[in-house]
Chains A and B, each alone.
Chain A
Amino acid sequence: QVQLVESGGGVVQPGRSLRLSCAASGFTFSDYTIHWVRQAPGKGLEWVAVISYDGSNKYYADSVKGRFIISRDNSKNTLYLQMNSLRAEDTAVYYCATGYNYGYERWGQGSLVTVSS
C-alpha cells in the first residue's frame, strides 16, 4: 500500500545540522512533487519546502531559506531535508507529503526534531 516513512529526527544542539529522510513505497515516486511540512509543539502546520518530480525545481519558506536544502533520489524512492544552522524555533514534527493539484495528497506519520542545548 501507499506509504511515506520519515526518519532521521532527534535532539540536536542549536547551530548544528540534521538530515531527514522520507522513504516512499506503493506508488511511482518519480511522478510526484513532494513537500515538507512541519508543526511546532502545540502550533499549526507550516509549509517548509517543495521539490519537483525530477528535482529540477525547489522552493522554500522564508523561515528556512538559505539554511535548509530539499533533495530527492528517485532511484531510491527517497526525499531528503538537509537542515543546517538549526534554531530552537525549528523544533517541530516534520511531515513529508505528496503534492497533488496544488495541495497535498498522501502524508507520512512525521519525525520529531528537537533543537535544544
Chain B
Amino acid sequence: QTVVTQEPSFSVSPGGTVTLTCGLSSGSVSTSYYPSWYQQTPGQAPRTLIYSTNTRSSGVPDRFSGSILGNKAALTITGAQADDESDYYCVLYMGSGIYVFGTGTKVTVL
C-alpha cells in the first residue's frame, strides 16, 4: 500500500521560511503525480493552496509556493505569519482515478 509521507511537525519564526515536503514510501514524486497542497486549522474545512505542483489557487498569497525538490514535492512558506500556523496536507494523484493524502504536517509559528 502506498504511503505518502510528510514531516510530522515544523516550527518557524515569524518572517522566516519553512519548506514542507511530500514523499512516497517507494519511488519519487514528479509532476506526473500532480501534487497539491491544503491548509487546515482546527474545526475548519481545508483550504486549497497549490494544485498541479506549483499553481496557486485563487486568493492565495504569493508567500506560498510549490515545487519539486529532489524526489519530493515541496511547499515553501516565505515570510511566515502568525495565521500560517495550521496543519498542511499534500495530495498525490496515483493514476486510475485514485488519490492519496499525505500524513500531514503541523506548522507552529513562534
Chain A residues within 8 Å of B, Cβ to Cβ? 35, 37, 44-47, 50, 57, 59, 61-62, 95, 97, 100-110
Contacts and interface: CB of A to CB of B under 8 A. Distances in A.
Interface string B28-56: 00000010101010000111101110010
Contacts of B102: 44
A107 B98 contact: no
Which A-B residue pairs are the 4 nearest by beta carbons? A59-B97, A103-B36, A102-B34, A103-B51
B93 A107 contact: no
Contacts of A45: 38, 40, 46, 89, 101, 104
A103 B104 contact: no
B97 A57 contact: yes
Given A35-B99, A45-B38, A102-B93, A110 B45 contact: yes
A100 B99 contact: no
B99 A107 contact: no
A45 B53 CA distance: 19
B interface secondary structure, majority = strand
B89 A101 contact: no
Nearest to A108: B45
Contacts of B45: 95, 107-110
Contact of A44 (B36, B98, B99, B103): B103
A50 B1 CA distance: 19
B96 interface: yes
B47 A107 contact: yes
A100 B51 CA distance: 8
Contacts of A104: 36, 38, 46, 48, 51, 91
A14 to B, nearest CB: 24
A61 B45 CA distance: 20
Nearest to A62: B1
A107 B45 CA distance: 7
